[in-house]
Amino acid sequence: MSSLGLATLLASFLASAVEFVEAVTIVLAVGTTRQWRSTLLGTGAAVALLAGLIAIFGTAIAVLVPIELLRLVVGGFLIIYGLQWLTKAILRAGGAKAKHDEAAIFEREIVALKAEPPVPASGTDWISFTVAFKGVLLEGLEVVFIVVTFGASADLLGPAALGAVTAAAVVLSIAALVRRPLAAVPENAMKFAVGLMLVTFGTFWAGEGVGIDWPAEDASILVLLVGYVALSLAGTWLVRGRLRRMHLADATS
Amino acid sequence: MSWLRRFGRFWYDFLVGDRWELFVGPLAALALAGVLVRAGMTGAGVGLVLFISVAAVGTVSIAAALRS
């Protein structure tokens, strides 16, 4: 596999793993509070729909849209989406934003589910089905977005899909073993890495889309990545410093 | 109609959310890069401008988040 293929697989794996960890929290909360069979049915239905979306949109976009236009549009979306992930990750790493707490989300979900009507004595529990379906679908749409955009732009739908499937297998296996929210997963570090990769590839592809003739061709991706990593680490350091100064000012006033 | 509104709302939240500058900024950066390419600037030069513009958008957004 080419280095671009490996990078695509890694980005897809990390992004998917983060989203699957969040989806697993919802599935575990529904399954343990209400009924596992309906919860797993809802989860399976959502996963099947997501796989269908990847197959349909991934293939259709790659076949129907000219590559230059595709790279401009998809690259632009990757920059937008990547910056959302990266800026939040920088704020969290710098201490300006609360980190994602899967254990707390799990507790909140359980409280909300206990307020629902009781599980029917027989048949499908549609509340379990719907909550699991909706949770997995919403988290999974971000995975579909990343897999389709990465895969279609680089003509690497296979590695992108493989990354997502591997992430699903790893996260679900661990969740099945431990049977509690995966709170120990370094979600913010993973989001930081994914944000960097999305912004880097987005800049490269959108740049090609507007007509930039990148010097050193694909090697420019590495230069962009190094630049964004350096600026992001500096940004984290500056956010920490700014917060420290604000706390000092509050303490002395 | 309400389904259409919810659909539009979902995509707005998905792509724009509460950080509109992260949506508008990259589009403006790409428009600038396109103009510079057509003006005959070198690939390295436009690439550098695009990189700096994207980084500036992120910096502005983080500064705005810290202020709020």
Alpha helices in A34-155 (DSSP H): 36-64, 67-93, 102-114, 126-153
Contact partners, residue A206, CB within 8 Å, separation at least 6: A71, A72, A74, A75, A76, A78, A79, B26, B30, B33, B50
Amino acid at B26: P
Chain B residues touching residue A76 (CB < 8 angstroms): 26-27, 30
3-state helix, strand, coil in chain A (%, to 5): 80, 0, 20
The verdict on A158 touching B (C-beta cutoff 8 Å) is: no
Distance CA A4, CA A153 (A): 11
pLDDT of residue A107: 82
Who among A83, A96, A243 is closest to B57 (CB)?
Answer: A83
Nearest alpha carbon to residue A225 among A201, A189, A190 = A201
Distance CA A92, CA A86 (A): 10
Mean per-residue pLDDT for B10-21? 81
Distance CA B32, CA A92 (A): 31
Residues A231, B55: C-beta atoms closer than 8 Å: yes
> Please, how many CA atoms are within 13 Å of residue A106, restricted to the half-sphere of its CB?
18
Chain B residues touching residue A90 (CB < 8 angstroms): 58, 62
Contact partners, residue A52, CB within 8 Å, separation at least 6: none
Residues B20-57 have pLDDT tens digits of: 899 999 999 999 999 999 999 999 999 999 999 999 99
CA distance, residue B17 to nearest chain A CA (Å): 9
Task: Look at the block and give the residue holding tokens 């513009």.
Answer: B53
Q: Give CA separation, B23 vs A77, A124, A130, A153, B13, in Å.
A: 9, 42, 32, 20, 11
CA distance, residue A46 to nearest chain B CA (Å): 17
Contact A206, A82 (CB under 8 A): no
Nearest alpha carbon to residue A212 among B55, B29, B44 = B44
Residues A235, B57: C-beta atoms closer than 8 Å: no
Enumerate the domain spans of chain B.
Answer: 18-67
Residues B55, A97: C-beta atoms closer than 8 Å: no
Chain A residues touching residue B58 (CB < 8 angstroms): 83, 86-87, 90, 199, 231, 235
Contact A133, A42 (CB under 8 A): yes
Chain A residues touching residue B59 (CB < 8 angstroms): 235
pLDDT of residue B1: 60
Contact A24, A175 (CB under 8 A): yes
Task: Look at the block and give the residue holding tokens 């939040």.
Answer: A88
Q: Which residue ranges of chain A lie beneath pLDDT 50?
A: none
The verdict on A215 touching B (C-beta cutoff 8 Å) is: yes
The verdict on A229 touching B (C-beta cutoff 8 Å) is: no
